[in-house]
Structure 1
């Protein structure tokens, strides 16, 4: 959504046959004052003439599979990547961008479904690298860590969204972790701008890189930032006394990403802005009023 929104902001008169969106079913998106159409990927026969950037950011999560079957989730995602690579084979592909995950760097952390997801992403990176070597076509592999801003989905699955909903609906935030938990958020619209710039930059290598923010925040400070965005300068936060462990660091090495941002003439989006834009989007969709 953020990638498409940025393309439409920069090129509002782009012909429909030069911006093709694909998903599991046919449906329109409402972005700005336009309604671009998502086409079924399964029915695709080709893209047409001219050079193309192909961006693969889709994932079939466990919530889309009956019973959360991990083998079926893997089968569907393998098939999805296969269709994307077949599409890139058919087209005059200037670059294929495949969005990976920061979890690749932590292969054994988390419950079984998280470990399976991480293994899949790591192996998909290898498949894409092999495809690039075989075809001679360029790829870009950003590893996403923590995003905020508009278009947030699976809201309660991640700390930022869960904190916003908890404070808006129940008037308090509960943090289950006693040891410190560190994150580094990137505004999704900023990421869209940078990734699209990198996609047309011939000097960018195929080596995966981290979409890492410049500002590291512990969950307690994130909860207070959510409070500020919701007009609660001192939000009630329920949390155990902190332990002595080193904490959970999931922030990424953002040097390559931040360098590309700098070359755009931009500075990293402040955490307060990222949180405020996330709140504004959820408020506009009515999510803050649900119980």
Structure 2
């Protein structure tokens, strides 16, 4: 990815984005296997697009011949390099040629859709997508299968229609763990809590993006929560680097389902202050209603034990929160 320049300002952490590329060991594993194909579903979403950019950075002119993209509708997707990939409908996976393959599955209706659709429609749509993926796994027997889950899978059910998302994520974790074990397909399934970095979309759904956009628009940062809200971020590049390492370097690493969290937990008030500092305006106004001590804390943070073990296994240094903020801000300013 040819990264754009950073937003203007002193930016005490610096102005350079982190290189958006796989680690050297992943690049070597991919380039050493010219016959290995990568099938990506949901390539128009945040993680799917980031995955395609990382693959393109490694494969370059081989990308079109080795990477297939599938989505809810047919079309085209132009990458940062200028290369264009066709997007095939999901049902076209049924005719994907049998060959050495990795499957990276990001096509899934998100939590926002769970609130917009009836529980029946939400479940039916995701079940149909899962069936197509399941049939693809059974037919291709890929060398690796990546399917992100969500921290919502850890949340207790309240009986609300929005719980459909977490319930289905729990079900999918168990189902694909068993299916991949039966098929002898290496499976990696990160539970995502808080993500940062380029190619972020649906920006109004994420507090980090909202804080950055408030600053970039020159308006006060507005926080609405009257309770303490805790988050812990990982970089989308680090997420994909680890997951491709699971598939290519450490297949069948156990357990396949693992939670994610960054190097520290941050309350959103402190996050807003850090964003202001990183973007060079430490005194930028932050508006927030008075905290209500009767409200319980909102803590959406994963258990980092297995995530950190995966990083340590490959001696990788994840992007610190400051770099994650900067990379997200640069993309929102110039690349969105």
* TM-score w.r.t. length of structure 2: 0.77
Superposed displacement of residue 65, structure 1: 8.4
Matches within 5 A, 1:17-96: 17-33=65-81, 34-61=83-110, 68-96=117-145
From the superposition, tell whether residues 156 and 51 of structure 1 become closer, same or farther in structure 2 (CA, over 3 Å). Answer: same
1:242 matched to 2:291: yes
Tell me the residue number matched to 1:186: 234
Tell me how far apart the structure 1 counterparts of residues 196 and 161 of structure 2 sit (CA, whole Å). Answer: 23
CA contact (8 A) 1:152 1:278 kept: yes
Which deviates further from its counterpart, 185-194 or 197-206? Answer: 197-206
Tell me the residue number matched to 1:124: 172
Which deviates further from its counterpart, 13-22 or 69-78? Answer: 13-22
Q: 2:257 aligns with which of 208, 218, 234?
A: 208
Tell me how far apart the structure 1 counterparts of residues 160 and 123 of structure 2 sit (CA, whole Å). Answer: 13
- Structure 2: gaps spanning 5 or more residues: 1-48
Q: 2:303 aligns with which of 246, 253, 274?
A: 253
Matches within 5 A, 1:142-181: 142-169=190-217, 171-181=219-229
SS of 2:88's partner is strand
Offset from partner CA, 1:216-256 (integer Å, 9 cap, x none): 11101111122234432122112233344662221211122
SS of 1:252's partner is coil
Tell me the residue number matched to 1:266: 316
Tell me the residue number matched to 2:17: none
Superposed displacement of residue 165, structure 1: 2.1
SS of 2:104's partner is strand
SS of 2:307's partner is helix
1:199 matched to 2:247: yes
Tell me how far apart the structure 2 counterparts of residues 108 and 170 of structure 1 sit (CA, whole Å). Answer: 40
Offset from partner CA, 1:192-222 (integer Å, 9 cap, x none): 1111111221251243101221121110111
Superposed displacement of residue 83, structure 1: 0.5
Superposed displacement of residue 119, structure 1: 0.9
CA contact (8 A) 1:62 1:70 kept: no
CA contact (8 A) 2:222 2:288 kept: yes
From the superposition, tell whether residues 147 and 65 of structure 1 become closer, same or farther in structure 2 (CA, over 3 Å). Answer: closer
Superposed displacement of residue 38, structure 1: 1.7
Superposed displacement of residue 114, structure 1: 3.3
Which deviates further from its counterpart, 12-21 or 265-274? Answer: 12-21
SS of 2:143's partner is strand
Tell me the residue number matched to 1:289: none
Q: Which structure would you say has the larger RCO, counting Cα contacts within 8 Å and 6 or more residues apart?
A: 2
Tell me the residue number matched to 2:44: none
Tell me how far apart the structure 1 counterparts of residues 90 and 201 of structure 2 sit (CA, whole Å). Answer: 21
1:283 matched to 2:329: no
CA contact (8 A) 2:114 2:122 kept: yes
Instruction: Give me the CA root mean square deviation.
Output: 2.3
Tell me how far apart the structure 2 counterparts of residues 192 and 96 of structure 1 sit (CA, whole Å). Answer: 12
1:101 matched to 2:150: yes
How many residues were matched structurally?
A: 285
Offset from partner CA, 1:128-184 (integer Å, 9 cap, x none): 123224323222111111001111111111111121223333611222222221111
* TM-score w.r.t. length of structure 1: 0.89
From the superposition, tell whether residues 117 and 226 of structure 1 become closer, same or farther in structure 2 (CA, over 3 Å). Answer: same
Tell me how far apart the structure 2 counterparts of residues 282 and 266 of structure 1 sit (CA, whole Å). Answer: 26
